[in-house]
Amino acid sequence: MNNLGEFALMLAFATALYGVVAYVMAARGNRIDLYLSADKTPPIVWGCVTLASIALWKAFLTDDFSLEYVWAYSNRQQATFYKISSFWGGQKGSLLFWTLLLSSYMAAVYFQNRDKKTVLVPYAMSVMLSITLFFLFLLNFSTNPFERIPLPPEDGRGLNPLLQNYWMVIHPPTLYLGYVGFTVPFAFAMAALITKNLDDGWIRLTRKWTLISWFFLCMGNLFGAQWAYVELGWGGYWGWDPVENAAFMPLLVATAFLHSIMIQEKKDMMKVWNMSLVLLTFVMTIFGTFITRSGLIQSVHSFDEATLGYIFLGFLCVIVAACVTMILKRLPELRSKNELDSFLSRESSFLFNNLVLLGIGFATFWGTIFPILSEAARGVKITVGPPFYNQVNVPIGLALLALIGIGPIIAWRRASWANLKKSFARPTAAGLASAAALFPFVPLQDKSQALTYLAFVLCAFVTATILIEFFKGARARMELHGESFAAGLATLVWRNKRRYGGYIVHIGVVLIFAGIAGSSSYSVELQKRLKPGETLELRGYTFAYKKLSAVEASDVKTRIIAQLDVTRDGRHIWTALPEKEFYKGQNQPVSEVSLYSTWKEDLYVVLADFREDESITVKAHVNPMVSWLWYGQWVIAFGTVICMWPDRLERRRRLERFRQQTAAFAPAQE
Amino acid sequence: MMSQKKIKFVAGSALIVLAIAYLISTGINNTSKYFVTVDELQARKATYYGEGLKVKGKVVAGSIMRNPNDYLDVSFKIEENKSNLKVLYKGITPDMFADDRDVVVEGVLAKDGVFHANTLLTSCPSKYEPGKEGGAERPGSMPNYGAEKPDFKKTESLPKTEI
């Protein structure tokens, strides 16, 4: 099976190479025979990569330690669950996993567009094949997951216990699906540039793919935050680490892209801009991979094989050069005849939201690469940390939040004073009312708390604008069709999935903003050493330490659990059970955080140390509003699914329009 | 020629871009820290006194001391190319903080040559190629106990307490 896997990878490489060459030659020489044979390659590549992946999975499940990779990331006692996820536990397997996802996307696009006679598809296929080819090159010649150990050892090293939790199964695949998915819009954008089909055809063909990738990337980021929060035990969910930034930047650029393509669809404008954004999104995903795998930037979680970084850097340079050349070459065709009408209009609010999103992206990028830049320019490494990102991104983020409120309700083309007054009177009143209502409750002692207060007020303003939109639409349906309010609301959303789905996503974003604002300003923490019977007081809660117990959970795992009773005003609220787990053969304990989460605040307890006399050192946090982030995540997921839901109505409308047009040109025969 | 409308848009966009550039440059000026290794620090000590610094080095074997009355009070030495530096740190030490591990400390160098760290980060040990989210090397993670399984009756498995 290992031989088969290795062979399949080689075959995939050869087929992809042939496919790329044949596609290009077919296009150049206008040769249909070559095209027909080239067009068979994408599914074959996909089949081979799938076969190789199955072979690697099989090696994991059957404890085949003759593979160096399986030996390094699995052992006999490991649960099946983790044997499966060990696949992407390290450099080599994660590259294979990446290739598997990439070729699956490619196959899906291939079968989706098989019967459509669009000129874009073969070109897009050849772009996707070339990118797959790069990864297959790495897998075959640099990081082969099927590398053997001549004398297979009895047992493997096992997956790092820190990775042995269910997030390992959820987070990396989600993030990868997001990362890899942006190859599809990139490929179609490139195809549009090459073939000069520069209308919004490529955008419509890839809108769903862009949304799917955006969805996974967004979920991947938030799952990562949740993993960090519940497992790593430092009490936060986001640390502005280079690797986190690497996943955050493409998300920002993609968000900008998703918004500005609406202007192109509606007004046939901003073509250069959209093209640049989609290419930049893809470049950012490759840049992210480069950061993770190069070790060039000091990060807490990067892979340690530095050589691969330079190959990725080369690949990155090639892609950037290709993007820039193509856009420059097509600049005349990309010029748009229309221009923006007014400063105060929906269009310009989109332009500003784009600038703001890219501003956050650029600040993050600058902070991430600053150590390299400063070393190159001045010979000293200068780093920036979370204070930098917070200082820069918080004000820009607040501007973005305000635009989320303004954008959807400001008039298209040109907003007059009258319709500004009409649409903004109520949301502004809601914002001011919430400002007054919150004032007595929100502490305003420093700059950060003032910004939090501002964030809350803006959240109220944005929520009001969105709810009013829903309410207005539903009431119009009530009056026109005599529907009940709930039915009116449901039909409203169902018949305008893109628009209202988008609003729902915005509500999720507002929840996340509120959660970040609340938790970053009002969190408190305390470290204390306790003997049994002693207590710790934190923000009105009393943590009383009861006892320490040791549990032999299994042959390989011992758990040390501390028990703390948490009371407030004499009332029992929760029993905290923070613990430390010790794995056989591993030289580091794994801490398990004990967490009590409500909509208002989280109680978060970490066992830092224990002694022979059963005294312990604990760290307790009270983190307000963290759960709002996870609520926001689910709201975003729900909204995106609505946006993505196949819209029969939309298709019927388009068909109807088409039929009317043809009918006008073909008078009745009878 | 640019129309007046266009000038307005360019000016508006330029304003946003300038505001962001201003935020970035003041942000860098206010929050940036030198990142040096121990030998670089010792070679140019005078320039670094009192500055916010990040220092990278390897924990000298056997140098980790904890205050017997306060587990969170730690002192240790880090070295790089035969230079070493004494570090004082108060707080929970990360899981993988142990002898011979690479660490990064953030803090201030005092006049007496002792480094007062407020953040302690560990890099991953070479045995592991850490996964994407796997680096629990955050400030304020757990201390290390060495390879033995803990036992309440055994004192060897517990951390050193002499200072």
Amino acid at A272: V
* pLDDT tens string B78-104: 988 888 899 999 887 777 787 888 888
Identify all chain B residues contacting A611, using CB atoms and an 8 Å cutoff. 71, 158
Write out residues 220-239 of A within 8 Å (CB-CB) of B: 224, 227-228, 231-236, 239
Q: What is the 3-state secondary structure (H, E, C) of A158-220?
A: CCCHHHCCCHHHHHHHHHHHHHHHCHHHHHHHHHHHHHCCCCCHHHHHHHHHHHHHHHHHHHH
Q: Are A103 and A132 in contact (CB under 8 A)?
A: yes
Instruction: Output the pLDDT for position A552.
Output: 86
CB-CB contact of A318 with A383 (8 Å) = no
Q: Tokens standing for A432?
A: 């001011």
Yes or no: say if A35 and A54 are a contact pair by the CB < 8 Å rule.
no
Q: How distant is the Cα of B19 from the closest Cα of chain A, in angstroms?
A: 9
CA neighbor of A181 nearest in space, from A62, A278, A40, A261: A278
- What is the rounded distance in angstroms from the CA atom of residue A41 to the CA atom of residue A26? 14
Contact (CB<8Å) A162/B136: yes
Please state the pTM of the whole predicted model. Answer: 0.89
Residues B22, B61: one domain?
A: no
The DSSP code sequence of A65-100 is TTBHHHHHH--TTS-HHHHHHGGGSSHHHHHHHHHH
Instruction: Specify burial of residue A653 (Cβ count, 10 A radius: 0-12, 13-18, 19+).
Output: exposed
* Mean pLDDT value of segment B49-55: 82
Considering only the beta carbons, identify the residue of B31, B139, B141 that sits closest to A591: B141
Neighbouring-strand partners of residue B89:
B74, B117
SS3 A595: strand
C-alpha B95/C-alpha B106 separation (Å) is 17
Interchain proximity A366–B136, CB inside 8 Å: no
Same-domain pairing of B147 and B102 = yes
Residue A243 contacts B where some CB pair is shorter than 8 Å: yes
Question: In the β-sheet with A594-597, what is the strand arrangement from edge to edge?
Answer: A524-530, A616-624, A601-610, A594-597
Query: Smallest CA–CA separation between B112 and chain A, in Å?
Result: 24
Cα angle A169, A173, A179 (rounded to 5 degrees) comes to 155
Number of alpha carbons in the 13 Å side-chain half-sphere of residue A153: 14
Q: Which one, of A522, A234, A385, A299, lies nearest residue B107 by Cα?
A: A385
Residue A536 near chain B (CB below 8 Å): no
Looking at residue A228, the DSSP 8-state letter turns out to be I
Give the number of C-alpha atoms closer than 13 A to the C-alpha of residue A541, restricted to the C-beta side. Answer: 25
- Tokens (6 digits) for A45: 């590549």
A73 class by beta-carbon count within 10 Å (0-12 exposed, 13-18 middle, 19+ buried):
buried
Q: Closest Cα to residue A190, out of A291, A286, A281, A317? A: A281
CA distance B50 to chain A (A): 16
CB-based burial label for A232 (10 Å; 0-12, 13-18, 19+): buried
Structure tokens at B14: 């330029």
Residues B72 and B27 in one domain: no
My answer on whether B25 and B37 are in the same domain is no
The verdict on B39 and B26 lying in the same domain is: no
Tokens, residue A135: 């990864």
Structure confidence at residue A654 (pLDDT):
62
Residue of B nearest to A163 (CA): B134
10-residue block means of pLDDT along chain A (670 residues)? 92 96 88 88 96 95 91 87 88 92 95 82 93 94 89 83 82 93 95 88 88 96 92 85 90 94 83 92 91 64 60 91 93 78 80 93 93 84 88 93 89 78 86 88 84 93 93 90 88 89 96 94 89 92 93 84 93 93 76 92 90 88 95 96 83 64 45
A579 chain-B contacts, CB cut-off 8 A: none
pLDDT recorded at residue A163: 78
Report d(CA A27, CA A4) in Å as an integer: 34
Contact B134 A160 (CB under 8 A): yes
Give the DSSP H/E element, type plus range, for residue A468: helix A447-481
Return the exposure string of A377-394: e unless at least 16 CB atoms fall within 10 Å of the residue's CB, then b.
eeeebbbbbeebbbbbbb
Per DSSP bridges, beta strands B83-90 and B114-122 are parallel
Query: Domain locations in chain A?
Result: 1-159, 169-179+198-268+284-305+329-404, 405-522, 524-627
| β-bridge pairing A557-568 and A571-576 | antiparallel
Which residues does chain B have within 8 Å of residue A348's beta carbon, measured at their own beta carbons? Answer: 9, 12
Per the CB < 8 Å rule, is A611 touching B96?
A: no
User: Is the four-CA dihedral A187, A193, A195, A198 of positive or negative sign?
Assistant: positive
Distance CA A612, CA A271 (A): 69
Q: Tell me, what amino acid is at B141? A: S
CA distance A292 to chain B (A): 8
Give me the CATH number covering residue B42. Answer: 2.40.50.140
Q: What share of chain B is helix, strand, coil (3-state, %, to 5)?
A: 25, 30, 45
Say if residue B76 is in the same domain as residue B4. Answer: no
Q: Is B110 in contact with B95 (CB distance < 8 Å)?
A: no
* Number of domains into which chain B is organized: 2
pLDDT at residue B152 tops 70: no
Task: Indicate left, alpha or beta for A219 from its phi (over 0: left) and psi (-120 to 50: alpha).
Answer: alpha
State the angle between helix axes of A497-522 and A447-481 in degrees (0 to 180), rounded to the nearest 10.
160
Which residues are CB-neighbours of A144 under 8 A, at least 6 positions away? A6, A9, A92
Question: Does residue B27 sit in the same domain as residue B50?
Answer: no
User: Among A527, A545, A534, which residue's Cα sits nearest to residue A617?
Assistant: A527
CB pairs under 8 A between A and B: 218
Region B110-135: mean pLDDT is 63
Burial profile A516-542: b = 16 or more Cβ within 10 angstroms, e = fewer: bbbbbbbbebebbbbeeeeebebbebb
**pLDDT for the residue numbered A663:** 53
Q: What is the pLDDT of residue A295?
A: 61
Q: What is the distance between the alpha carbons of residues A256 and A353, in angstroms, rounded to a whole number?
A: 7
- Listed by number, the residues of chain B in 39-58 with a beta carbon closer than 8 Å to a beta carbon of chain A are 54, 56
Q: Are residues B25 and B78 in the same domain?
A: no
Question: Distance (Å, rounded) from C-alpha B28 to C-alpha A370?
Answer: 9
Task: Decide if B101 contacts B125 (C-beta within 8 A).
Answer: yes
For tokens 């009270």, the residue is: A622
Contacts A88 to B, Cβ<8 Å:
131
Instruction: Determine whether A562 is exposed, middle or buried from the number of CB atoms within 10 Å of its CB (0-12, 13-18, 19+).
Output: buried
Q: Which of A497, A475, A496 has the alpha carbon at shortest distance from A486?
A: A475
Question: In this structure, what DSSP letter does residue B159 have?
Answer: P
Provide the domain limits for residue B1: 1-32
Say yes or no to pLDDT of B161 above 70.
no
Please indicate, yes or no, whether residues B4 and B80 belong to a single structural domain of this protein: no
* Strand, helix or coil for residue B34: strand
B16 in the same domain as B94: no
Distance CA B105, CA B116 (A): 9
